[in-house]
Amino acid sequence: MLDFLAQTLAGKVPTQTAGKNSHLRWQWWDEGILALTPHQSVEKTLVLSAGVHGNETAPVEILAQVVDSLLAGELELQWRLLVILGNPAALRSNQRFQHSDMNRMFGGRWQQFPESIETQRACRLEHAVDLFLAESEETICWHLDMHTAIRSSYHPRFGVLPARTTPYDEAFLSWLGCAGLQALVFHQSPGGTFTHFSSEHFNALSCTLELGKAQPFGENDLSQFDVTKQALQALLSGETSPCAESAPLRYKVAQQITRHSDAFVLHMSAQTQNFTAFPKGTLLAEDGDTRYVVKEDIEFVLFPNPNVATGLRAGLMLREI
Ligand SMILES: [Zn+2]
């Protein structure tokens, strides 16, 4: 049987590139790209990705376990499913990226970056998703891209949803709550993330899931991700997942902090957690003459990171909806 994760980490073409069991047939498309199709016709398509950042290993391990169950025929499949391990080269070296952050490059933005493993891979993944979703006659299309955050967080599991002109389907948002997400963050402007790409180009209901803090392979306490894994298994096999947790809090992006020059200074400590609250008037960051100040009564910080390349996001400020 195909060991999708081991094969991807080994960087070799599997000896068998297609197969089937009593529930589904599968086809290995390329390194880290696997398509699974149920024998019966279904109305739903799902793109399930992890490892777009190579050091975010917990979701990769969860995804590998789910794929193993599907390939072993232990799990029924009620979706056409495209499974993606985003950045195999970075996964092998346990680095966020080899050259530059791939999750800023989607939607063709890779063309504006110097050519690298990541620009090539972003292009490859866009083609794979395009091909898979172009074949789709299904009415429901979801994309779940699983990550872990660099920092600790007041909400250990949360989702970030791309800006969208049409409203989100409440069934989708409610499933995200059942998958253990404690907060949902709604972007208000376009970005170069994988989920923005699938949402913008294919009208997919897309979410970037942030599941705890990044740890190396083998050092993850996967029990804290059980709720997400169980919800995924239930989703794939067409069962309703039990929702013990309360509905996630909702936030929207109030402002973005961008690093424009080497003079950039972020006025937060390295220990500042995601969703830390700052009162109105707080000076958050400075970049030459540009000052980033809290404008709402309270804003909450997300993804503070002063060490990004110039022109990229050094943090988001949120307000609660
Ligand atoms: Zn990530």
Catalytic residues: 210
Q: Do 79 and 23 contact (CB within 8 A), yes or no?
A: no
Residues 143, 18 share a domain: yes
Span from the CA of 105 to the centroid of ligand 1 (angstroms): 13
267 is an annotated ligand-binding site residue:
no
* Contact partners, residue 264, CB within 8 Å, separation at least 6: 285, 286, 287, 306, 310, 314
76 is an annotated ligand-binding site residue:
no
Q: Which amino acid is at 287?
A: D
Higher confidence at residue 219 or residue 288? 288
| pLDDT on residue 212 | 83
Return d(Cα 194, Cα 212) in angstroms, integer.
19
Residues 62, 150 share a domain: yes
| pLDDT on residue 245 | 60
| pLDDT on residue 226 | 87
Residue 218 pLDDT > 80: no
Residue 241, domain member (yes or no): no
In the structure, what pLDDT confidence band is assigned to residue 138 with cuts at 50, 70 and 90?
low
Residues 198, 292 share a domain: no
Residue 149 token pair: 């955050």
- pLDDT digit string, tens, across residues 37-88: 999 999 899 999 999 999 998 899 999 999 999 999 999 999 999 999 999 9
Residues 57, 182 share a domain: yes
Average pLDDT of the segment spanning 233-247: 84
Residue 270, domain member (yes or no): yes
Residues 115, 16 share a domain: yes
Residues 266, 169 share a domain: no
Residue 110, domain member (yes or no): yes
The overall average pLDDT reported for the chain is: 93
Element (H, E) at 278: strand 277-279
Distance of CA 208 to the CA centre of its chain: 3
Q: How many structural domains does the chain have?
A: 2
Residues 298, 157 share a domain: no
Higher confidence at residue 221 or residue 131? 131
Span from the CA of 157 to the centroid of ligand 1 (angstroms): 13
CATH number for the domain including 259? 2.40.50.630
**Residue 270: which domain range?**
255-320
Average pLDDT of the segment spanning 13-18: 93
Span from the CA of 142 to the centroid of ligand 1 (angstroms): 19
Residue 161, domain member (yes or no): yes
Return d(Cα 14, Cα 35) in angstroms, integer.
14
Sheet holding 265-266, edge to edge: 265-266, 283-287, 290-293
Element (H, E) at 210: strand 205-213
Residue 81, domain member (yes or no): yes
CATH number for the domain including 52? 3.40.630.10
